[in-house]
Structure 1
């Protein structure tokens, strides 16, 4: 394949699911998911598994809540993508997130990390958005929120920006499920 050929790339940005408050003496890094977080990760994982393009690679913070979110979400996929865990995704800013994404191969990639980096990354990379996904992102990036950004070109060019095509949250997915059931 021509290295400069235009391709349609997909980047998924997933904020870790809801976590418990730190217990006395517990580091923020070690906070686990709470019951709501486990439920939310399962809801988002089930929805994510229905996407046409699934990730070949997952970049994931080594923080406990991110690792747990990753494990739950990936359990819904028909195959297990390659997971690259990184301490640096815990404490670096959105520029670091974008740098790591730009180094990936030209296949769909999922990044699981923290706020405010996830929100900043999504806003920086989304030069255009459908009305509803853009409106949802403007309200913030909730725990277990999933932004879907599509790009033309190669991963090394993602700084040029892409299109926010979808923005899912557990709350929205629950509402959709209730409409179907009701």
Structure 2
């Protein structure tokens, strides 16, 4: 099965009175989420389900990506993914129903899980940083997500938004 890990897109800091959980995406983030969703769809990596943090910026990222993927994936919000540790994200994945899966969450948990879950890390210079809208697509040799263990995912691709412009996929 495929496992896709996406960090939320760039958020707005325009209203400093907003609680962190409630910060929306800025225009750049909205554009990046749409482009990344189109890219995922264009590479035929559309998951059956997307599970996202309930934070506004993560939820908006997930919604924009699902829409760009033709609306095919179902979207589930999980408050446990808000600033979750890599262990908490892994545990949530292990409870997911069968089928290709995308998780939309936050750093540092997403970056840490991405580095722990793969058998061989990509040589990409931004992998350790896992910038906003960074997306890791992996193939995992399991029949059920409960079987997922550290180090078993094989990297298909890791990509960041600036590369989408370079690839002319926007």
Instruction: Compute the TM-score of the two structures, normalised by the length of structure 1.
Output: 0.85
- Structure 2: state its 5+ residue gaps: none
- How many Å apart are 1:22 and its aligned residue? 5.7
Q: Distance in 2 between matches of 1:138 and 1:78?
A: 27
**Considering only aligned residues, what root-mean-square deviation do their CA atoms show, in Å?**
1.7
* Greater mean alpha carbon deviation, residues 114-123 or residues 158-167: 158-167
**Bigger CA radius of gyration:** 1
Kindly indicate which of the two structures has a greater share of residues assigned to helix: 1
**2:137 matches 1:158:** no
Cross-structure match for 1:5: none
Relative to structure 1, the CA distance from residue 137 to residue 125 in structure 2 (aligned partners, 3 Å threshold; closer, same or farther) is farther
- How many Å apart are 1:136 and its aligned residue? 3.8
- Structure 1: state its 5+ residue gaps: 1-8
* Greater mean alpha carbon deviation, residues 116-125 or residues 48-57: 48-57
Q: Distance in 1 between matches of 2:72 and 2:44?
A: 15
Counterparts of residues 137-156 of structure 1 (less than 5 Å): 137-154=126-143, 155-156=145-146
Matched-pair contact (CA < 8 Å) for 1:56–1:109: yes
Q: Distance in 1 between matches of 2:25 and 2:100?
A: 26
Residues 104-158 of structure 1: CA deviation (Å, up to 9, x unaligned): 23310000000111111111101124xxx33245442110111011111232222
Matched-pair contact (CA < 8 Å) for 1:41–1:72: yes
Counterparts of residues 36-51 of structure 1 (less than 5 Å): 36-51=28-43
- Provide the aligned length of Structure 1 versus Structure 2: 167
Relative to structure 1, the CA distance from residue 20 to residue 79 in structure 2 (aligned partners, 3 Å threshold; closer, same or farther) is closer
Matched-pair contact (CA < 8 Å) for 1:22–1:28: no
Cross-structure match for 1:95: 87
Cross-structure match for 1:135: 124
Equivalent position SS for 2:140: strand
- How many Å apart are 1:61 and its aligned residue? 0.5
Residues 152-174 of structure 1: CA deviation (Å, up to 9, x unaligned): 12322221421122001110111
**2:163 matches 1:172:** yes
Match of 2:54 among 50, 53, 62: 62
